[in-house]
Every structure is written in C-alpha cells, then in structure tokens.
Amino acid sequence: MRILLVSDEESKYIWDFFQKDRFEDIDLIISCGDLKQDYLSFLVTMIKAPLLYVHGNHDYGYIERPPQGCECIDDKLVVINGIRILGLGGSMKYKECPFLYTEKEMQKRINKLKLKLFLNRGCDIIVTHAAPKDISDEKDLCHEGFKCFVNFMDKYSPKYFFHGHVHLSYGMKPRKVSYKNTIVVNAYDHCIIEY
C-alpha cells in the first residue's frame, strides 16, 4: 500500500503543479494536520484514494467547515485494507484553543481507546499532529511532544508513527527516525510511504 502523507504546508508540487500520473499508485492519503480544508478536498478529488485526517493546532476552521470527502480519525481506530490506523490530533496546550491538550488530557484520550486497541490487538499506524517527546519534537512548549506517545510506542509497537507540527524547515531534522520497533515519520509538506 502506498500512502501519501501531508501536513502543515500545502505542497506547491502537488497543488500548483498537479500531475495526475504522479499519484495514480496512491492507495491512501493521510493528513497530520494544519492544512486548508480546500487543499484536503482537492487531494481527495484529484487522487482517487480515501483521505484520513487528524486535527492540527490551527484547524479550528474545521469545526465550522470540515474538509469535504475526507474522514476525521481523531480518537478513532479504523481499519483500511487490513491496516489498523489510530488517530490522535492536536498539540501541547500553550493557550486556550481547540485541539490543544495537556499531557494528562492526551493520556486520557489514549486511555479511552484502550478497549478498541485490545479488541484490534493494537495498531499498525498511529497518526498524530504533535511529535513524540524527545524524538522528533522541539523544546518550546508549542512544539513540545507528548511523553504518552513514547509510552504508546513502548506498549503497542506500531510499525509507523506519522506526525506533523514540526516543520522540517525549522532545522536539520530528519524526516524519518527509528524508535525501537517503530519508524517515526514527519509528514511535513508531503512524502510517500510504502507500507
């Protein structure tokens, strides 16, 4: 399965210079947040693949007008072509705003999914907006990652952890990092993962 990951910045390569043949083999699109509703609707229309998304810290516009033709997987575990995908959007709380959570609040969200995780024997992919703490995050509160995401990987060993929020343009961060049995991928702008 070929997965197109997008996050944080609308890709000019895709949006301004779209060529259908470059994306004919895409089976699934996953957004890790902070993208315009129209961009996600464009992707799901032009690329004939389902689009799953989680909320980023700037996606409060989705409350009034969610992206058309796309499925929000925040606080859900979905199965696509036999692949178990769990979604937990949002980032660290640095002000009062939707989709911002304290460490304790994010852990509570994970706890609510424990039965689904048990019944599905874990998950293959976790999709978040924020990064796991001390793996792909930044040190400022806004871009700090969640420790409970690291604990999640320790317990469930998903094959992949997809996130956004930390722009690769912020510094010389790698797109992919290995953590134990999990490959952590920063979806900034766009990239394609072969599952």
Averages of pLDDT over runs of 10 residues in the chain (195 residues) are 97 91 96 97 96 97 96 98 97 96 98 97 98 93 96 98 90 89 97 96
φ, ψ (nearest 5 deg) of residue 37? -55, -40
Q: What is the pLDDT of residue 127?
A: 98
Helix 103-112 / helix 147-156 crossing angle, nearest 10 deg = 30
φ, ψ (nearest 5 deg) of residue 124? -95, -35
Confidence (pTM): 0.96
Q: Are 186 and 136 in contact (CB under 8 A)?
A: yes
Residue with tokens 């989709």: 99
DSSP β-ladder status, 76-80 and 83-88: antiparallel
Which sign, positive or negative, has the C-alpha torsion 12, 62, 55, 141?
A: positive
According to DSSP, the residues that pair with 160 across neighbouring strands are 125, 183
